[in-house]
Structure 1
Amino acid sequence: MTLGGIAGIFLAVVSLTASATVYNVTDFGADSTGKNASTTAITKAIDKASEDYGGVVRFTKGQYLSGPFELKSNITLQFDDDVVLKFLDDPKEYPPLTKLLPNGLTFSLPYTPLIRAFIVRNVVIRGKAILDGNGAPWWKRLPPPNARPQFLFFYQSYNITVEDVAIRNSPMYNIQLIYTDHVLLKGISIKNPPSYVDPGPNTDGINCNPCRYLHVTNVTVDTGDDCVALDADLGDKLMGRWPTEHILIENSHMFAGHGAVSIGSATTAGLRNITVRNCIFNGTDRGLYIKTRRGRGGLVEDIHYHNITMLNIRKEGVAIAAVYNGTDEGMHERNIHWVPIDDTTPFIRNIRYRGIRGNSKLESLFIVGLPERQVLDVILDDFHVQSEKGIFLNQTQHIIINGKEQL
C-alpha cells in the first residue's frame, strides 16, 4: 500500500463527516439507561439519515441495549465517550439472513450479524465506546463447529472506517470483511476469552476474505482464534476470484489468539503485497503464520514482515505450511507424497522477514512445502527468535537465514 493510498482513505473520512447533519438516537426513542431495547430507534435514525443522503447517527453518553441493525451508505455511527452498546442474546433476534443482491443472486448467513452492511460506501464507526456482543450465552449454546452471529459484517463495501471503539464478547468473528476495499481500522481493541481458557473459539479478531487496501493500525486484539486472518476463497458468481492484496498492518499488539497474523488457509484467489510491521505479539499460539494445502490452490507472494517482537509464543514463532490440515501432527509429516500440479496446488514464494525477535515454545522457524511445489525464496534478516526446537524445513528452496542459505 502506498502512502498516497493511505492518505486517500483519511481524506475520504474527513469529507464524509465535516458538515454532516446529526441524528441523535434518543430523539428517535432510544433508551440511554439500557433498560429497554433500542433496536427500532437506532434503525429509524439510520434510515432517516440515509433518506437525507447521509449524516451522523449519534449515541450520547449512556447505556444502550439493541438487537441487530443494518448500516447504510454515507453514515457515521458516532459514539460519545463511555457509551456502552450491548446486544441482546435472544436467538430469535438473529434469524437466518438472506440478502438479495443487485444481479438477482442471493447471499445467505445462518444468523443475522449484530451490525451489518451490504454494498455500502463511506461508512464510519467511531468513538471511545464499548460494543458488547454478549457472546457468553452463544458460546455455551452453540460450541464449535456451530456457527454463531458475527459482530461487524461488511459485504462488497467501499471506504469503511472503524476507529477507537472497544469490541467485546463477540458471538463469532469480530470484524468480517468480504469483497470490501479501502478499509481503515484504527485504534480499536478487540477482546474475547482465549479458547484454551473458556469456550470462545472462532472469534477471529479481524477476518478478511477477500479484501483490498486494508490498513490496520494501533489495534489491540486478544481473542479466541486468529487475531488477524487474511483469506482469499473461491469467489462467487457476482465477484469472481478476488485476491486479497495491498494490506498494511502496523503498530499493533496481538495477545492469546491462535495466530497473531495468519494468512490462509483459504488461498485459492491468491494473496499478495501484504506488510506487517512494528508489532508486538505476546502469548499467541503462533506468531507469523502462512497456511494452506492442496485443494485450496492460489499464489501467496510478496509478503513482508518488519520489526516484530514475539514473546511467549506457545507453538512455532514463524510458520509456513502448505500441508495445513488443522493438526500439529499433520504439519510435521516428513513423508509427503508427490502429486501432479493443477490449479488447486498452492504456491508460496517471495516472503521477507527483517528484525524478528523473541521466543517460542516450539520451532523458531517452521517451513513445509510440497514436493511438487516447494516453498520458494524466503529470506530472514536480523532474525533472532529463541526456541527449544530450533528450525524445521521440509520441501523448501532458497531459504536464507541471517545471510546463510539453508541446505
Structure 2
Amino acid sequence: MNKVLKLSFGLLAISTCALAQFPGINLPKVKQPAFKTDTFNIKQFDAKGDGLTLNTNSINDAITSCSEKGGGVVLVPGGVWLTGPIDLKSNVNLHIDRDGILLFTKDFNQYPIVEGSYEGLPAGRCKSPISGKDLQNIAITGTGIIDGNGDAWRMVKKDKLTATQWQDKIASGGLLSADKKTWYPTEKSLKGSQAKDPGILKEGRSIQDFEVYKDFLRPNMVVLNNCKRILLEGVTFQNSPAWNLHPFLCSDLTLRGVNVKNPWYAQNGDGIDLESSTNTLIENSTFDVGDDGICIKSGRDEAGRKLGKPTENVIVRNCVVYHAHGGFVIGSEMSGGAKNIFVYNCSFLGTDVGLRFKTTRGRGGVVQNIYVTNINMKDIGAEAILFDMYYMAKDPVALSGEKRDAPKVEVLPVTEATPQFKDFHISNIVCNGAATALFIRGLPEMNILGLYLNDMVIKAKKGMVCTEATGVYIKNFRMITDDTNPVVSIDNSQSIYLDHIAYKPGSDLLFKISGSKTSDIAVTNTPASAAKSKLLLTDGATQKSIHIK
C-alpha cells in the first residue's frame, strides 16, 4: 500500500463519520435573524399596486422608516407593485404576501451604473433591483413573487428559441449580431458585446466610461454584499436580468423554501451564486433556471486570490433543480477556494450536468473537503458527475452544429494560478439517464487528488472517463451504458482503486488504459470475464499499469 493510499484512507474514515447524518454530526451552525413584529405597510407610504405607478420612493421610504424605528416588517400586500431599485436596511424583513408581485421596471434609466463586482472582479454594473451592503439582520420572506423583468435586459441566442419565438424577438425590436445568431434588446447592449472587458474597472477606467454600453451591464437581481444574519424564505424569485441571487462576502445566510426561476435560454441566468461567504444553509428550495442552479464561487483569477475569501461551511439539502447547466456546482470562479461543503438529499431533473465541479488554469484556489450524498438524478444532458479543470466557458451541452476541439494537453509550471481539486466524497448516487456517467479531467501538472465515490447506480450512454487524476477510490459502482467500448477509460492517472464495479454483461471492452504515466490501478471484485474483451493498453500503458484480481 503506497503512501497516497494510506493518507487517503485516513481522510475517508473522517469523512464517513461526517456524512453519517446521525445525531452528533459536525455540520456548520447558521445563526438566524430575528425581527420586531412592528409592520410598515407600503400603502401607508402612498404606494399603489396598479402595475403602472412607479413605487420606488414609497417602498424605499417604508424600508428606511422601519429600520430607523428599530426594525420590523415592511409589508408588500396583494397587488402588482411596479418599482425601481430597492435598498434593504438592517433589521428589516421585506415580506411579500401570497397575492403580491414586486415587479421591477423595464426603464433602464432607473438603474444607474454603480461600482460592484463581476465574477470576483471590480466592475461597474447597473444597480441591482434589490441590494444591501454592510447590513445585519435582514430578510426577504412571504409567498409572493419578485420579478426582475429580465427579458427586457437579456440577449438571446437563436439556437435556444423555437422559430416562432425567434421571430417574435425580432418583431419586438432590438438588433441582431453580425452573424444573425444573437438578438440584443438595444444598441447599447450590442455595443457592450463587442467591447473588451466590458464593465471591468481597471486603471484609467471609471464607471462613466461604461455609459456607451450601459444596457449590456445587466444587474444581478438580488445582491447582498458583506451582510450578516440573512433569511430568504418562501418567496419566488424569477426573471432576473443576470444571476438571480448573489450573496457576496456574507455570513449566516439561510435560504429556505424559495422558488428560483428563469427561462432555460436565460444566458447567465444562474439560480444562486454563493460567493466568498461563510456559514450558509440552503434547504427545501426549487431551482429552474438558465444557467447553473446552486453554485459556489469565490472570485476570479488574481483578484479572487488577492481577496482570499473562500466559500466555506455550507449545507445544501432537500433541494430540487430542474433545468440548469448544473444541479450543484463549484466554480469556475473559485480562486479564493471552497471548503467544508455538505450536499445531501437533493434531486436534479433535466439539468445539463448533475454534480459539476469546474475550473481552469489561471484561477488558482483550492477546492477541498466536499461531501455529497443521497443525490437522485434523471435525464441529465451531459455528465452525471463532472470534474473538469479545462473549463472553456461554454454551455455543457453543445448546440446543434457546434464543433468543440479537445483542449491541448501540455505540462505548465505550477504557480499560484494553478487550481487544485482534492478530497471529494460522493456516495449514494442514483441517475436514470445521462450522456456520461462519470468524467474526471485534471491537469498534468496538478492532478485531481483524492476522490472517494461509492454506492452509485448510473444509467448513461457512456461510462467512466478518468484523465490526470491521482488517488481515486470507487466502490459499488453500477454502470448501465449504451456505449460499451470501453466501459471505463483511464489515462495518465495513478492510484486508481475500483472495487465491485458492475456493468452490462457482454460489453465490448471493459478497460481502456492509456498513457505512460498510468500506474497502480487495482481492480477487485469485478467480473472482468463478463466483457468480450477485458483490457486494451495504448499510448505507453503496460501490463504493470493495472492489476485485476
Q: What TM-score results when the alignment is normalised by the length of structure 2? A: 0.67
Cα 1:378/1:3, change in 2 over 3 Å:
closer
Aligned with residue 311 of structure 2, among 241, 244, 257: 244
In structure 1, distance between residues paired with 2:342 and 2:404: 25
In structure 2, distance between residues paired with 1:335 and 1:151: 37
In the alignment, is the contact (CA less than 8 A) between 2:221 and 2:243 conserved in 1? yes
In structure 1, distance between residues paired with 2:473 and 2:308: 33
Structure 2 SS opposite 1:313: coil
Report the equivalent of 1:259. 326
In the alignment, is the contact (CA less than 8 A) between 1:263 and 1:290 conserved in 2? yes
In structure 2, distance between residues paired with 1:73 and 1:8: 18
Map 1:3-402 onto structure 2 (within 5 A). Answer: 8-9=30-31, 12-13=32-33, 16-17=34-35, 19-98=36-115, 108-140=123-155, 141=185, 142=189, 146-195=216-265, 200-233=266-299, 240-327=307-394, 333=406, 336-402=409-475
In structure 1, distance between residues paired with 2:407 and 2:139: 48
Shift of 1:397: 1.3
Select between 396-405 and 283-292 the one with higher mean Cα deviation: 396-405
Shift of 1:359: 3.2
Structure index of larger Rg:
2
Shift of 1:179: 0.7
In structure 2, distance between residues paired with 1:117 and 1:3: 33
In the alignment, is the contact (CA less than 8 A) between 1:299 and 1:347 conserved in 2? yes
Equivalent residue pairs, number = 392
Deviations 1:309-340 (A, max 9, x none): 11100001100011212256999847621111
In structure 1, distance between residues paired with 2:467 and 2:293: 27
Shift of 1:110: 1.7
Shift of 1:346: 1.1
In the alignment, is the contact (CA less than 8 A) between 2:30 and 2:281 conserved in 1? no
Cα 1:184/1:295, change in 2 over 3 Å:
same
In the alignment, is the contact (CA less than 8 A) between 1:201 and 1:225 conserved in 2? yes
In the alignment, is the contact (CA less than 8 A) between 2:83 and 2:105 conserved in 1? yes
Structure 2 SS opposite 1:308: strand
In the alignment, is the contact (CA less than 8 A) between 1:297 and 1:345 conserved in 2? yes
Shift of 1:236: 6.0
Shift of 1:5: 7.3
CA RMSD in angstroms, aligned pairs only: 2.5
In the alignment, is the contact (CA less than 8 A) between 1:317 and 1:359 conserved in 2? no
Shift of 1:361: 3.2
In structure 1, distance between residues paired with 2:310 and 2:276: 6
In the alignment, is the contact (CA less than 8 A) between 2:96 and 2:145 conserved in 1? no
In structure 1, distance between residues paired with 2:57 and 2:314: 36
Deviations 1:12-41 (A, max 9, x none): 32xx22x33211110011102333111110
Deviations 1:42-77 (A, max 9, x none): 011111112213221111222211111100111111
Select between 396-405 and 128-137 the one with higher mean Cα deviation: 396-405
Letter in 2 for 1:276: V
Q: What TM-score results when the alignment is normalised by the length of structure 1? A: 0.90
In the alignment, is the contact (CA less than 8 A) between 1:325 and 1:331 conserved in 2? no
In structure 1, distance between residues paired with 2:321 and 2:68: 40
In structure 1, distance between residues paired with 2:405 and 2:497: 22
Shift of 1:93: 0.8
Cα 1:252/1:149, change in 2 over 3 Å:
same
Deviations 1:150-205 (A, max 9, x none): 1111011111110000111111111011111110000000111102xxxx211110
Cα 1:405/1:107, change in 2 over 3 Å:
closer
Cα 1:83/1:192, change in 2 over 3 Å:
same
Shift of 1:116: 0.4
Structure 2 SS opposite 1:32: coil
In structure 2, distance between residues paired with 1:225 and 1:81: 27
In structure 2, distance between residues paired with 1:320 and 1:128: 37
Cα 1:5/1:27, change in 2 over 3 Å:
farther
In structure 2, distance between residues paired with 1:4 and 1:396: 29
In structure 2, distance between residues paired with 1:336 and 1:272: 28
In structure 2, distance between residues paired with 1:67 and 1:305: 40
In structure 2, distance between residues paired with 1:181 and 1:95: 27
Deviations 1:191-238 (A, max 9, x none): 11102xxxx21111001221111110011000000001111115869x
In structure 2, distance between residues paired with 1:293 and 1:8: 31
In structure 2, distance between residues paired with 1:273 and 1:127: 30
In structure 1, distance between residues paired with 2:303 and 2:461: 44
Letter in 1 for 2:275: N
Select between 143-152 and 173-182 the one with higher mean Cα deviation: 143-152
In percent, how many aligned pairs have the same letter? 30
Structure 2 SS opposite 1:342: coil
Shift of 1:98: 3.4
Cα 1:236/1:51, change in 2 over 3 Å:
farther
